[in-house]
């Protein structure tokens, strides 16, 4: 059994080399961003000692840029800082709402979107919100960097395609146009500090007449991984996103859901609720896109 | 296991500590620096009893490694009162009987102080959401909310 | 009735006497005492709800550098009662999480790692997981020492006690009632949910005198029970209660 150790590399090269050298020494490594999942799991589920590699001192993971075509959100930026950025909130209100739903004020002072994604929980709130805005993971590997769509990143419950010698640097998101907007809603029994029973994210673009020209709908906590529901998107495109269209999208979400029954909800309940959330989130996204 | 040398500032005082890599900021505040006003409730970030500020941002000290506090400014309940006496929030918690057993009280006061520094005039909903990560088993929360509202009013008059 | 101006307390808003200590973080709760040379304890708990303990071997823990003590059932007086069996499992573990062994080490992490070095050989038995299962005819008996209402003339039972609350002639009342509503009601198990975990610091000197500082709702009970569990006299045990971070009945006994 190895020992606990802590490393705070100040450059990407150093971080990658720490991962490499620790692995060569037979020491397990663990990337540490906000730590709100990692530290809890390290003390309860998986206590094996490891080297914690803190990525909060690396320029790339702290970068936040809002360009003409693209937005980049570094993997080490806490949700609270994102929520304080009015421009970002205006461009990606659904994603920022999803981040803002995770945990308390205290948790948001540390927790990051990148961490939420790497934790790869079926109920991770930011994952559906990232999928609908076509976010792409920017991953640093020893050989250079690679990019993976968020929808392809998570491979199972708590599993993703990040290798142990790689670092998620951040998320690249196409800048939404003026007639585009996103929204995310989840259901929990109380209004704060809980894990989604079901969640739904919708991003859509309207033309000048208010007709939907493109849409993406993703649902969470109703399958082992977040699902992009193409049938729900198809139900919205070409419509004014009226009740009929939203009902059809909701039905498509309920059809696509394959949840489990656990302490947070039954199969039947989650199946129904995820449709309702899709309908409401779709309405919010439509109103945002048209205003 | 080799210890880490961490240089930080706690309530404005420079501090140097040797800590284990896995040790939380909470452990180090309580066990190494003797600042036991910050309480341990759940150690999973759910109860907020260990609330402190890290460079002014509200965090659960159980979910921060002591090593992560390197070069940062930490604020704890011990730094809330001033040489002239209690902070308005502390006074209002007493006046409104916003505490019984008191184990959650330091966390609530630290959290509420950050809120009032950012938003001097929060409405009830804002206060309730801001403090949702601080659990109290005794008071039923209402008296805490009244105390924070009253403190905000008083601070506004002082300003 | 006295005039209002004669009353010292009624009509005022007194500030609680322990208030200032509590809003400043000065109040000392169960875990707030730090003694020089203090070491840390951790408890190994059963992963099974019902099992016979064939053997406990703490030698692996004791061999670790920084581990100062490791105890199990054989370190406690043989004669014991329910409380003594609850504190450390004897022949059987009676529930998931029942304490089986404990270690003391120089750091909490070391103590925790030492738990992994303790070997317990269990003979896993059928668990009894519901009231219906527990009271059924021929039910698996969990605690072989337990008799309903403590009546040892009756065979051992899973039923700890039967308590009836009655007032007047209930049968007559039902017979005369216009409507009788019958139902079966089930409530889940509940935890008191205090925010402060159980915490305790203790010393023992060369004479066997014990001082315990702890978060408790009854320090005299803690004294009596500690003495009984350790097989010593209450005159050798001093218990100092700290501030208590919530108890709600959950911190009554050791």
User: Is pLDDT of B99 > 60?
Assistant: yes
- Rounded mean pLDDT, B115-141: 97
- Mean model confidence pLDDT for chain A: 96
Give the model's pLDDT for residue B1.
Answer: 59
Range from A152-161, A191-200, A228-237, B109-118 carrying the lowest mean pLDDT: A191-200
CATH class of the domain at B88-158? mainly alpha
DSSP lists the bridge partners of residue A138 as A147, A170
From A267, A273, A29, A68, select the one nearest A165 (Cα to Cα).
A29
Residue C251 lies in a domain: no
**Cα distance between residue A66 and residue A174, in whole Å:** 10
Q: What DSSP string runs through chain A?
A: ----EEE--SSHHHHHHHHHHHHHTT--EEEESS-TTHHHHHHTT-----EEEE-TT-HHHH-EEE-SSEEEEETT-BHHHHHT-HHHHHH-HHHHHHHHHSS-HHHHTT-BHHHHHHHT-TT-THHHHHHHTT-EEEEEETTEEEEEEHHHHEEETTEES--TT-EEEEEEEEPP-TTEEEEEEEE-SSSSS---SEEEEEEEEE-TTS-EEEEEEEEESSSSS-EE-HHHHHHHTTS---HHHHHHHHHHHHHH-----BTTB-HHHHHHHHHHHHHHHHHHHHHHHH-
From C229, C217, C200, select the one nearest C253 (Cα to Cα).
C217
User: Is pLDDT of C2 > 70?
Assistant: no
- Topology of B4-79 in CATH? Ubiquitin-like (UB roll) (3.10.20)
pLDDT digits (tens, 9 = 90+) for B46-91: 999 999 999 999 999 999 999 999 999 999 999 999 989 999 999 9
Helix spans in chain B (H):
25-27, 88-95, 105-118, 124-130, 142-158
Do the strands C119-124 and C200-204 form a parallel or antiparallel pair, or are they unpaired?
Answer: unpaired
- For residues C60 and C92, membership in a common domain is answered with yes
Question: Structurally, how many domains does chain C consist of?
Answer: 3
- Rounded mean pLDDT, A212-219: 98
User: Is pLDDT of A35 > 80?
Assistant: yes
**Cα distance between residue A183 and residue A284, in whole Å:** 6
**Across the interface, do B45 and A43 touch by the CB < 8 Å criterion?**
no
Residue C241 lies in a domain: yes
Q: What DSSP string runs through C128-141?
A: --SHHHHHSTTPPP
Give the model's pLDDT for residue B2.
Answer: 82
DSSP code for B5: E
Q: What are phi and psi of A209, to 5 degrees?
A: -85, 0
- For residues C118 and C143, membership in a common domain is answered with no
pLDDT digits (tens, 9 = 90+) for A248-266: 999 999 999 999 999 999 9
- For residues C52 and C114, membership in a common domain is answered with yes
Tokens of C28: 């000392």
Q: Which residues of C touch A (CB under 8 A)?
A: 109, 112-113
Predicted model pTM? 0.94
Do the strands A167-174 and A70-74 form a parallel or antiparallel pair, or are they unpaired?
Answer: antiparallel
Q: For residue B68, which residues of chain A lie inside 8 Å, CB to CB?
A: 8, 32, 35, 54, 56
pLDDT digits (tens, 9 = 90+) for B13-56: 999 999 999 999 999 999 999 999 999 999 999 999 999 999 99
Query: Of B19, B28, B55, B65, which to mutate for an interface test with A (greatest number of A Cβ within 10 Å)?
Result: B65
Residue C7 lies in a domain: no
Q: Which residues in chain B (31-70) have CB-CB distances under 8 A to chain C?
A: 31, 34-41, 47, 49
User: CB under 8 Å to A255, separation ≥6 — which residues?
Assistant: A231
Q: What are phi and psi of C94, to 5 degrees?
A: -105, -10
With cut-offs at 50, 70 and 90, classify the pLDDT of residue C4.
Answer: low
**Cα distance between residue A100 and residue A245, in whole Å:** 28
Strand, coil or helix: C88: coil
Residue A32 has, within 13 A of its CA and on its CB side, a CA count of 25
**Cα distance between residue C119 and residue C130, in whole Å:** 30
Element (H, E) at C64: none
Tokens of B94: 């007493």
Give the model's pLDDT for residue C79.
Answer: 85
Please tell me which chains touch C, using 3 or more CB pairs under 8 Å as the contact test. Answer: A, B
**Across the interface, do B106 and C25 touch by the CB < 8 Å criterion?**
yes
pLDDT digits (tens, 9 = 90+) for C197-220: 999 999 999 999 999 999 999 999
Give the model's pLDDT for residue A2.
Answer: 73
User: Is pLDDT of A117 > 60?
Assistant: yes
Give the model's pLDDT for residue C81.
Answer: 87
R_g of chain B computed on alpha carbons: 16
**Cα distance between residue C189 and residue C197, in whole Å:** 19
- For residues C74 and C146, membership in a common domain is answered with no
CATH of the domain at C216: 3.30.365.10
* Better-predicted residue by pLDDT, C1 or A17: A17
Please tell me which chains touch A, using 3 or more CB pairs under 8 Å as the contact test. Answer: B, C
* Better-predicted residue by pLDDT, B120 or A1: B120
- Rounded mean pLDDT, A88-105: 97
- Topology of A59-174 in CATH? 3.30.465
- Considering only the C-alpha atoms of chain A, give the largest distance between any 2 of them, rounded to a whole number of Å: 64
DSSP code for B65: B
DSSP code for B73: E
Give the model's pLDDT for residue C1.
Answer: 53
- For residues C74 and C120, membership in a common domain is answered with yes
**Cα distance between residue C172 and residue C180, in whole Å:** 12
The hierarchical CATH code for the domain A180-290 is: 3.30.390.50
- Name the residue range of residue C237's domain: 196-246
**Cα distance between residue B40 and residue B30, in whole Å:** 9
Give the model's pLDDT for residue A258.
Answer: 97
Tokens of A268: 């039947």
Indicate the burial class of C69 (C-beta count within 10 angstroms; 0-12, 13-18, 19 or more).
middle
Give the model's pLDDT for residue A282.
Answer: 98
Q: Is A103 left (phi over 0), alpha (psi -120 to 50) or beta?
A: left
- For residues C70 and C110, membership in a common domain is answered with yes
- Rounded mean pLDDT, C220-237: 96
Domain boundaries along the sequence of chain B: 4-79, 88-158
Helix spans in chain C (H):
19-24, 59-62, 82-87, 108-115, 131-135, 170-176, 219-230
User: Which residues of chain A form CATH 3.30.43?
Assistant: 5-54
**Cα distance between residue A265 and residue A152, in whole Å:** 27
**Cα distance between residue A214 and residue A110, in whole Å:** 34
Element (H, E) at C41: strand C40-45
Give the model's pLDDT for residue A1.
Answer: 55
Give the model's pLDDT for residue C112.
Answer: 94
- Mean model confidence pLDDT for chain C: 94
- Rounded mean pLDDT, A80-100: 97
- Considering only the C-alpha atoms of chain C, give the largest distance between any 2 of them, rounded to a whole number of Å: 75
- Rounded mean pLDDT, A199-207: 98
Closest Cβ–Cβ partner in B37, B97, B101 for C245: B101
Give the model's pLDDT for residue C57.
Answer: 98
Give the model's pLDDT for residue C231.
Answer: 93
Tokens of C245: 């971070």
**Cα distance between residue B48 and residue A253, in whole Å:** 36
Q: Flag whether residue B106 sits within 8 Å of chain A, measured between CB atoms.
A: no
Mark which of C93, C127, C161 sits at the end of a domain: C127
Chain C: closest CA distance from residue B128 (Å): 19
**Cα distance between residue A62 and residue B76, in whole Å:** 26
Chain C: closest CA distance from residue B50 (Å): 11
User: CB under 8 Å to A194, separation ≥6 — which residues?
Assistant: A188
Which option is the CATH number for A5-54: 1.10.3470, 3.30.43, 3.30.1560, 1.10.10? Answer: 3.30.43
């Amino acid at each position: 059994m190895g020992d606990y150790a802590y490393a705070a590399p100040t450059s990407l090269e150093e971080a990658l080399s720490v991962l490499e050298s620790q692995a060569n020494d037979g020491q397990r490594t663990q990337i540490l961003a906000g730590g709100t999942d990692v530290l809890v799991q390290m003390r309860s589920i998986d206590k094996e000692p490891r080297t914690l590699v803190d990525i909060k001192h690396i320029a790339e993971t702290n970068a936040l840029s809002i360009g003409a075509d693209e937005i980049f959100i570094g993997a080490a930026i806490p949700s609270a800082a994102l929520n304080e950025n009015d421009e970002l909130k205006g461009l990606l209100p659904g994603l920022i709402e999803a981040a803002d739903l995770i945990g308390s004020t205290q948790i948001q002072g540390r927790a990051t979107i990148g961490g939420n994604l790497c934790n790869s929980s079926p109920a991770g709130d930011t994952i559906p919100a990232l999928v609908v805005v076509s976010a792409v993971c920017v991953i640093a590997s020893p050989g250079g960097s690679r990019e993976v769509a968020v929808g392809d990143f998570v491979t199972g419950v708590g599993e993703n395609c990040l290798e142990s010698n790689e670092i998620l640097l951040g998320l690249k998101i196409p800048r939404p146009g003026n007639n585009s907007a996103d929204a995310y809603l989840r259901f929990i029994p109380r209004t704060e500090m809980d894990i989604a029973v079901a969640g739904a994210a919708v991003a859509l673009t309207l033309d000048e007449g208010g007709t939907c020209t493109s849409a993406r709908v993703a649902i969470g906590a109703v399958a082992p991984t977040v699902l992009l529901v193409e049938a729900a998107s198809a139900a919205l495109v070409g419509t004014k996103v009226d009740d009929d269209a939203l009902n059809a999208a909701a039905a498509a979400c309920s059809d696509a859901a394959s949840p489990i029954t656990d302490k947070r909800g039954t199969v039947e309940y989650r199946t129904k609720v995820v449709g309702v959330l899709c309908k409401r989130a779709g309405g919010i996204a439509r109103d945002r896109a048209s205003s | 296991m080799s210890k880490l040398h961490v240089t930080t500032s706690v309530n404005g005082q420079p501090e140097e500590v040797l800590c284990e890599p896995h040790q939380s900021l909470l452990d180090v505040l309580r066990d190494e620096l003797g600042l036991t006003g910050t309480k341990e409730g759940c150690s999973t970030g759910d109860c907020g009893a260990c609330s402190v500020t890290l460079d002014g941002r509200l965090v659960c000290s159980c979910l921060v490694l002591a090593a992560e506090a390197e070069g940062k400014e930490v604020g704890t309940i011990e730094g809330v009162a001033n040489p002239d006496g209690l902070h308005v929030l502390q006074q209002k918690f007493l006046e409104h009987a916003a505490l019984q057993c008191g184990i959650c009280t330091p966390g609530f006061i630290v959290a509420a102080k950050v809120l009032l520094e950012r938003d001097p005039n929060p409405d009830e909903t804002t206060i309730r959401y801001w403090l949702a990560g601080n659990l109290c088993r005794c008071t039923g929360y209402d008296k805490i909310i009244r105390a924070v509202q009253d403190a905000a009013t008083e601070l506004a008059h002082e300003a | 009735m006295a005039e209002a101006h004669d009353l010292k307390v009624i009509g005022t808003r007194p500030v609680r006497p322990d208030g200032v200590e509590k809003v400043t973080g000065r109040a000392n709760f169960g875990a707030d005492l730090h003694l020089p040379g203090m070491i840390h304890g951790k408890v190994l708990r059963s992963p099974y709800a019902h099992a016979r303990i064939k053997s406990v071997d703490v030698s692996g823990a004791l061999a670790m550098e920084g581990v100062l003590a490791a105890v199990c059932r054989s370190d406690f007086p043989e004669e014991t009662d329910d409380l003594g069996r609850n504190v450390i499992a004897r022949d059987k573990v009676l529930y998931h999480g029942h304490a089986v062994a404990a270690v003391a080490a120089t750091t909490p992490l070391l103590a925790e790692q030492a738990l992994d070095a303790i070997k317990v050989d269990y003979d896993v038995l059928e668990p009894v997981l519901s009231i219906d299962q527990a009271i059924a005819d021929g039910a698996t008996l969990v605690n072989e020492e337990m008799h309903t209402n403590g009546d040892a003339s009756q065979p051992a039972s899973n039923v700890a006690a039967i308590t009836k609350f009655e007032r007047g002639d209930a049968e007559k009342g039902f017979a005369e009632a216009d409507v009788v509503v019958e139902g079966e009601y089930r409530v889940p198990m509940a935890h008191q949910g205090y925010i402060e975990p159980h915490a305790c610091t203790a010393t023992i000197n060369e004479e066997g005198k014990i001082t315990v500082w702890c978060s408790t709702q009854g320090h005299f009970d803690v004294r009596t029970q500690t003495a009984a569990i350790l097989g010593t006299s209450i005159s050798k045990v001093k218990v100092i209660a700290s501030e208590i971070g919530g108890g709600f009945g959950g911190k009554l006994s050791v």
